[in-house]
Chain A
Amino acid sequence: MSDVSKVVSMRDAVARFVHDGDTVVIEGFTHLICFAAGHEIIRQGRRDLTLCRLTPDLIYDQMIAAGCARKLVFSWAGNPGVGSLHAFRRAVEGRGAPRLEIEEYSHFGMVARFAAGAARLPFWPLRNYMGTDLPRVNPRIRHVTCPYTGEALATVPALNPDVSIIHAQRADAQGNTQIWGLLGVQKEAAFASAHVIVVVEELVDEAVIRADPNRTVIPALIVDAVVVEPWGAHPSYAQGYYDRDNGFYVAWEARSRDRDALERYLDDFVRGVSDRAAYLEKQPDLAARLKAKERRCAGVNYGF
């Protein structure tokens, strides 16, 4: 492996690895959702993207509203604990917004799609979907007969994105990436992708990674670019760095319901700022409200 640093700006990472028409994954289950990357994709005006995520969350609602998406592949499209994603609903219910193509699974199905993609298999079997209407509306959910037991098993096709964008607590300049807290499907999504952009709260020395190798979820050998973007997951969160901005999620219900209010938000906080640093300057109270409390673990002995 070359020792050349992979650290680039968000602007350069998106310009280089996210193209019109690409299949794009910004993963993270509630935790570590990279809003900074979504905002940069909106600023650069990407179009016709196939956006994949288990939970589209507010970030894909914003990208749908901004016209980046042609298709959404997902398993739960809501605002967790609050209500709806209204830009998504307008686009699916056909209320004055351009129609969005959807391809829908359950969480287990999406997880299995990434697992197949990561292992470079064509599909993944799972004991699921009997008695549900999901296979009726999604013909890509099929069945296979087990060659050993004769059991009919559901199958889902591999998902191999053009690029996955993974937010994490820390990485070194090569992209050896450590995550703790909720892990979602980031590992599977990253290994399934042709390209991987890692976005981190902190850039650390390789020695920090080597001191605790079990915490490395994504190795440098699959990483194309490393972006250092503190608070880059806000209003999502980073365990040990900052809490989820639940107030922002609650406020999104009214904001996304009103198309004009949503556009004003995008103008003020996304299109109207040049980068993440400018986004943070507009909200100087974030650290006071959300900075994580100390809860350190003791560490272990890796000696032999």
Chain B
Amino acid sequence: MASVAARELVDGEVVFVGIGLPNLACNLARATHAPRLVLVYESGAVGATPARLPVSIGDPALVTGSLMVCGMADVFQLILQNGRIAVGFLGGAQVDRYGNINTTVIGSYERPAVRLPGSGGAAEIAIHARRTLVVAKLSPRTFPAHVDFITSPGHGGAGASRRQLRMPGAGPVKVITDKAVLEVDEGTGELVLAALYPGVEASDVRGCVGWPLACRPRPGRVAPPDATELRLLRDVLDPERLYLKG
């Protein structure tokens, strides 16, 4: 997942890095095909070049050797709301048919079965970044037809479109899972099957999502991580397996 996500990033882009696997993917991209990727962390580090994989997005290694360190009011107003972020990178406990992401509660808000951390910067990233990438493991629990709570908005479904709601960014355009890559269909706003991992069939993916999943006419095949990516991930970027679990 980390290597597939890393390949989505274009050298020189400005990326707003979320916590967890996105953090690993961005640092892998920087170590491989995108050395000039500009990593912006909501903690205020701009152009970070962390010498160790940050455990949190407020790690001191993000500061040492970065291009700029600013307050969080500047991060959200002068960088994100100003339109300077090309790619936002989010994870989620639930992702639904229309790319809405839930990181707030499982169950009702007032009496949650599971209380999750909440938005952090995710709501505004999904609204403002020019495009948003999502990483999440594929399972029926994680991909219901409708999320229990919309923390970060996707594509509106039957309701108002992003344009009608005056959202500046394109929102979640691609969801990278451990079995397949889903993309948003521009006509319907639905997530559709775009590419499969080696050895995975479309039916395997359909069994893991809570809606009748449409498929691109000719879904692509995702290349497995190459030797360089694997070595970097396992030996250099995450030797303690902070993010590479299972």
Contact = CB atoms under 8 A, between A and B. Distances in A.
Nearest to A238: B60
A31 B72 contact: no
A75 B120 contact: yes
Interface string B161-195: 01001111000000000000000000000000000
A77 interface: yes
A295 interface: yes
Contacts of A130: 127, 153, 165-167
Interface string A67-94: 0000000111110110010001100111
B223 interface: no
B66 to A, nearest CB: 10
A108 B63 contact: no
Interface stretch (A8-16, A184-192, A255-263, A275-283): A184-192
Contacts of A114: 73
Most A CB contacts (10 A, CB to CB) among B59, B111, B114 go to B59
Nearest to A153: B166
Interface residues of B, number: 58
Nearest to B80: A108
A239 to B, nearest CB: 5
A243 interface: yes
A281 to B, nearest CB: 25
B60 A31 contact: yes
A111 B72 contact: yes
B56 A30 contact: yes
Interface stretch (B41-49, B136-144, B205-213): B41-49
Nearest to B152: A132
A128 interface: yes
25 contacts: A30-B56, A31-B43, A31-B58, A76-B117, A76-B120, A77-B117, A78-B117, A80-B56, A80-B57, A81-B19, A84-B117, A88-B115, A89-B114, A92-B112, A92-B115, A111-B73, A115-B73, A127-B166, A130-B166, A131-B162, A133-B151, A137-B109, A152-B166, A182-B63, A186-B71
Most B CB contacts (10 A, CB to CB) among A137, A183, A243, A292 go to A183
Interface in B87-133: 100, 104, 109, 111-124, 127-128
A92 B29 CA distance: 38
Interface in B61-87: 62-64, 69-73, 76-77, 80-81
A106 interface: yes
A234 interface: no
B242 interface: yes
Contacts of B118: 74-78, 104, 106
Contacts of B114: 89, 93
Contacts of B104: 104, 133
Contact of A128 (B43, B70, B113, B123): B123
A78 B70 CA distance: 23
A239 B57 CA distance: 14
B76 A81 contact: no
Contact of A244 (B45, B60, B150): B60
A81 B20 contact: yes
B156 interface: yes
A29 interface: yes
Contacts, number: 172
Interface of B: 19-20, 42-45, 54-60, 62-64, 69-73, 76-77, 80-81, 100, 104, 109, 111-124, 127-128, 149-154, 156, 160, 162, 165-168, 242
Contact of B119 (A76, A89, A93, A111): A76
Interface in A97-133: 104-108, 111-112, 114-115, 126-133
Contacts of B153: 130-132
B163 to A, nearest CB: 11
Q: Decide if the interface of chain A is mainly helix, strand, loop or mixed.
A: loop
Interface of A: 29-31, 54-55, 74-78, 80-81, 84, 88-89, 92-94, 104-108, 111-112, 114-115, 126-134, 137, 151-152, 180-188, 237, 239, 243-244, 246, 249, 292, 295
B57 A107 contact: no
Given A131-B165, A133-B150, A106 B119 contact: yes
Contacts of B121: 76, 106-108
A102 to B, nearest CB: 9
Most B CB contacts (10 A, CB to CB) among A77, A78, A106, A237 go to A106
A246 B55 contact: yes
B76 A108 contact: yes
Nearest to B61: A243
Contacts of B117: 76-78, 84
B123 A237 contact: no
A108 B150 contact: no
Contact of B72 (A93, A107, A133, A181): A107
Nearest to B45: A182
Contacts of A77: 115, 117-118
A239 B115 CA distance: 32
